Amino acid sequence: MSFHTAFAIVDAFTTQRAFSGNPAGVMLLDAFPGDEWMQGVANELHQAETAFLVADGESTFRLRWFTPTTEVALCGHATLASAHWLWEAGVLPEDAVAVFTTRSGRLTAERDGGRVVLDFPAARPVEEPASPDLLAALDGTVPVWTGVTSHPDPAERNVMAVLDSAEAVRSLTPDLQAVARLPAGGLIVTAAGGDAAVVSRYFAPAYGIPEDPVTGSAHCTIGPYWRDALGATLAAEQASPRGGELTVVTTDAGRVRLSGTARTAVTGFVH
C-alpha cells in the first residue's frame, strides 16, 4: 500500500438525476491493512459503505465492506460501485466479469450495456409477528405482514415490514431508537405499487446509517418476498431522499440478480 492511496466515491443505483443513488467509497489496495485503518478510512469518508479491494487473480478480488462504524458481511451498492470503478479505471477490461470473494461467498458483476448486473444470494424472509419494538419503530403505521431473514449473526439479519401502499412507505417517519433495538441489523419497509412495481426504504441506525439511500442487499429479501405475487422480475424504487432505481430478478436457484447504473462522483487520495 502506497503512502498516498487513491479512492473514488461512486453513486450506485442512480436515477436520471445527478447525485442520486447510494454513494460508496472504493479503494483498491495492494493488501488489506489492519482493520482499524480500514474502519478509520470508512469513518473519514463517511459514506454508508466503503469497499476495500485486493486483487486475487486476473479478474478476481477479495472484497470487504465497512460502514462508518463496523464491517458488514454483504453490501450490494458498494459491490456495484466497486465493479464500476474497476472498469472505469481500466483495472478490468470492459467485457470482463468481476469476481469478488467475500464473507457472503462468491459474488459476480458484469456489464449489460450501461448497466451493472450483480449476482447475489437470496435471503427470503420468514413470517414473524410484529414485536413491540417493531410497532414502535413504525410509529403507529400498521403493517400488513412482518418477517425476518435468517442468519447466524443477528446483526446480519433484517426485519421486514410490508405496508399497504407505496405512499405509506414514502411518508413513514420511523422511530430510529426503536429500530436500533430490533434484533437485527436493519429494517426494510416495502409495498407494491407506485411508479415501480415495488417501493422500499431501509433503516440501519445500529450500523451508523439512519436511512440508507439505496440498499442492494435489502432487495435480496424484497425480490424473493414479492416474487409469488408480482413475478420474478421487478422494477424497484428505493424512496429515500436521494432516490434510487434497480431491477431485481429472483432466480429458481436461490439467487438474486440486481442491476442498475453508477456514476463516479469524486476521486482523491487518502494520506
Q: Which residues are catalytic?
A: 49
The burial of 195, by beta-carbon neighbours within 10 Å (0-12 exposed, 13-18 middle, 19 or more buried), is given as exposed
CA distance 42 to 37: 9
> Strand pairing partners for 44?
none
Q: Which three cell numbers stand for residue 98?
A: 468481476
Taking 3-state DSSP, the helix, strand and coil percentages for the chain, each rounded to the nearest 5, stand at 20, 40, 40
**CA-only gyration radius of the chain, Å:** 18
Q: Decide if 109 contacts 97 (C-beta within 8 A).
A: yes
The burial of 115, by beta-carbon neighbours within 10 Å (0-12 exposed, 13-18 middle, 19 or more buried), is given as middle
> Rounded to the nearest 5 degrees, what angle is found at the Cα of 263, between the Cα atoms of 220 and 266?
115
Q: Which three cell numbers stand for residue 195?
A: 411508479
Q: Decide if 163 contacts 143 (C-beta within 8 A).
A: yes
> Strand pairing partners for 142?
none
> DSSP class of residue 114?
T
Amino acid at 63: L
Q: Decide if 109 contacts 116 (C-beta within 8 A).
A: yes
